[in-house]
């Protein structure tokens, strides 16, 4: 029998962290503590690289599960909870080459770093993920000494065309999902698969899982949960899915907790 009554799976950007906001609201941390006292566990489920998540959630780092890179790397109290999901090196090299040829910037999320082609460094050097000290550049793919968990395509122009071509080439083998206005991820697993794996690990029944998200990569997670909530700020084309709509994440989760 699980020692937890249930589990909340929460996306970060656009959900816990509204777009344009840089810090997590203190009320969210209070909610994590309250939920823990009532026997509920939180999972921070994000497409982000794991090392970029830890500073945001330092106050509750040992109380939550981190499901990073869309579920490819899952950590709890500093330890790997479930083996990593990886992209085969041959595929990773081909995807990288293809994205460069299509005019996108490939960001390769590994176990130890984000890997960026040297030629793209000047274009990306003002971005936040380079300022954190966990990005490494490479000249040729063989320079990378790391497992590749997922690859993000950064599209300054022609995102729809690049996304369409990437889906044509890779969707039979990998999940290809949008994660932002200029971004899409190519990933060997999904947030939905990670929800199933994590809740199973802790012995939590599916009907006692609740998920909150706002973008295409969140849809598998919302579908896999006992109940999925789509943020009111989500793109209109996602609102065709039959999920509950949520306009205030902290308030909505608090209301669910109070039901128990």
- Percent of the chain predicted with pLDDT > 70: 90
Burial class for 105, CB neighbours closer than 10 Å (0-12, 13-18, 19+)? buried
CA dist 135 → 107, 111, 118, 192 (Å): 9, 12, 11, 27
Number of H-type helices and E-type strands within the chain: 9, 14
- At 195-244, the pLDDT tens digits run 999 999 999 999 999 999 999 999 999 999 999 998 887 877 777 777 88
pTM of the model: 0.92
Give the Cα separation of 7 and 195 in Å (integer).
9
Unique residue bearing structure tokens 């960026």: 116
Q: Which residues pair with 135 in a beta bridge?
A: 114
- At 127-167, the pLDDT tens digits run 655 556 789 999 999 999 999 999 999 998 999 999 999 99
Assess whether pLDDT exceeds 70 at residue 107.
yes
Give the Cα separation of 234 and 208 in Å (integer).
24
Give the Cα separation of 260 and 248 in Å (integer).
19
Q: Which helix or strand (DSSP H or E) is residue 136 part of?
A: strand 135-138
Residue 245 phi/psi, 5-degree rounding, is -100, 140
pLDDT value at position 257?
64
- At 65-85, the pLDDT tens digits run 999 999 999 999 999 999 999
Assess whether pLDDT exceeds 60 at residue 123.
yes
Q: Are 260 and 38 in contact (CB under 8 A)?
A: yes
Length of the chain: 260
Domains of the chain in start order, with CATH, are: 6-84+190-259 (3.40.50.1000), 89-187 (3.30.1240.10)
CA 181 to chain centre: 15
């Amino acid at each position: 029998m699980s020692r937890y009554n249930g589990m909340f799976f929460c996306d970060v950007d656009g959900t816990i962290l509204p777009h344009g906001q840089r810090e997590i609201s203190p009320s969210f941390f209070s909610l994590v503590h309250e939920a823990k006292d009532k026997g509920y566990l939180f999972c921070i489920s994000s497409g982000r690289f794991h090392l970029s998540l830890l500073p945001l959630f330092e106050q509750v780092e040992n109380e939550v599960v981190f499901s990073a890179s869309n579920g490819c790397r899952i950590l709890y109290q500093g330890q790997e909870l479930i083996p990593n999901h990886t992209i085969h090196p041959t595929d990773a090299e081909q995807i990288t080459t293809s994205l460069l040829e299509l005019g996108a910037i490939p960001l390769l999320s590994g176990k130890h770093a984000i890997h960026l082609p040297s030629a793209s460094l000047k274009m990306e050097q003002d971005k936040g993920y380079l300022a954190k000290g966990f990005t490494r550049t490479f000249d040729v793919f063989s320079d990378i000494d790391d497992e590749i968990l997922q690859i993000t395509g950064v599209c300054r122009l022609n995102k729809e065309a690049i996304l369409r071509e990437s889906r044509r080439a890779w969707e039979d083998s990998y999940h290809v999902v949008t994660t932002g206005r200029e971004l899409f991820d190519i990933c060997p697993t999904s947030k939905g698969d990670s929800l199933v794996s994590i809740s199973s690990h802790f012995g939590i029944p599916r009907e006692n899982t609740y998920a909150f998200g706002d973008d295409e990569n969140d849809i598998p997670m919302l579908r896999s949960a006992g109940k999925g909530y789509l943020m009111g700020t989500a793109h209109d084309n996602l609102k065709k899915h039959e999920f509950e709509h949520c306009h205030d994440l902290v308030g909505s989760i608090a209301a669910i907790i109070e039901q128990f």
